């Protein structure tokens, strides 16, 4: 999408809206804030294409449902989903819904601004070309067993379930998971999911 100074913030926490408004204005953006997804939907078709920052937990319609609705409407708004209660399942759901990024609260200012700039240079639920290529290279560098474990982790399975499915011990799964985080440069489980999606991990082999 073409770069736009507008940013749409959707969060039912007034303190979060105020903080993001101040941060984004200081960074040269023009933020607009909404307390609910339904409030945003009333206006979204009349708004210029721009990045959306949406909390997962919203009254009436949550951030994941909003993401799906905007995609179904064909609106070109890249969506960054944020949450204070992150887990692998939510991260996977956000990326599958069409989010371009997934960030955990409390938000790091630098990470958010980086995510916004990246979102302005991509279409759909994927990282920009260079990041996609890098993620694919990192995944290709994993052993076949590590890729197997990664698929199970991205599917949201616990270590015990992964161990049973692959016929290895839970301790071995822990070692593989630690290696995955290190080799892929993942800073969290949700970040691991982002890298897997960006790199086009073949989940059909799971």
CA nearest neighbour of 189 among 150, 160, 163, 162: 150
In the chain, list all ranges with CATH 3.40.50.2300: 6-119
Determine contact, residues 182/111, Cβ cutoff 8 Å: no
Q: Which residues contact 26 (CB under 8 A, 6 or more apart)?
A: none
Give the chain's end-to-end CA distance (angstroms, integer): 33
Which of the following CATH numbers is that of domain 130-205: 1.10.3720.10, 1.10.10.10, 1.20.1630.10, 3.90.550.10? 1.10.10.10
Q: Which residue, 126, 77, 68, is CA-closest to 100?
A: 126
Overall fold of domain 6-119 = Rossmann fold (3.40.50)
Residues facing 51 on adjacent strands: 7
Model's pTM, two decimal places? 0.76
CA atoms within 13 A on the CB side of 204: 2
- 149 pLDDT exceeds 50? yes
pLDDT in tens, 3-61: 678 999 999 999 999 999 999 999 999 999 999 999 999 999 999 999 999 999 999 99
As annotated, the residues of the chain forming the CATH 1.10.10.10 domain(s) are 130-205
3-state SS of 43-59? Answer: CHHHCCCCEEEEECCCC
Residue 81: per-residue pLDDT:
94
Instruction: Tell which residue, 95, 122, 121, has the closest CA to residue 200.
Output: 95
Helix (H) or strand (E) run with residue 90 in it: helix 88-97
Starting at the edge strand found earlier in the chain, the sheet holding 30-34 runs 30-34, 6-10, 51-55, 79-83, 101-104
Give residue-wise pLDDT tens across range 80-127. 999 887 677 888 888 888 898 888 888 889 989 988 988 877 654 445
């Amino acid at each position: 999408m073409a770069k736009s100074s507008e940013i749409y913030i959707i969060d039912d926490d007034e303190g979060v809206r105020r903080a993001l408004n101040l941060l984004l204005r200081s960074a040269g953006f023009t933020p607009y804030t909404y307390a609910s997804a339904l409030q945003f939907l009333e206006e979204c078709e009349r708004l210029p294409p721009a990045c959306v920052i949406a909390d997962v937990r919203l009254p009436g319609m949550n951030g994941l449902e909003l993401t799906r609705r905007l995609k179904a409407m064909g609106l070109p708004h890249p969506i960054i989903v944020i949450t204070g209660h992150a887990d692998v399942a939510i991260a996977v759901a956000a990326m599958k819904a069409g989010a371009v990024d997934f960030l955990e609260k409390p938000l790091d200012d630098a990470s958010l601004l980086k995510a916004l700039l990246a979102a302005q240079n991509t279409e759909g639920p994927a990282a920009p070309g260079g990041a996609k290529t890098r993620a694919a290279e990192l995944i290709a560098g994993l052993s076949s067993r590590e890729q197997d474990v990664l698929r199970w982790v991205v599917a949201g399975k616990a270590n015990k379930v992964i161990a049973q499915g692959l016929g290895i011990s839970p301790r071995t799964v822990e070692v593989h998971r630690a290696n995955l985080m290190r080799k892929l440069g993942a800073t969290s489980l949700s970040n691991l999911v982002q890298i897997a999606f960006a790199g086009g991990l073949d989940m059909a082999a799971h």
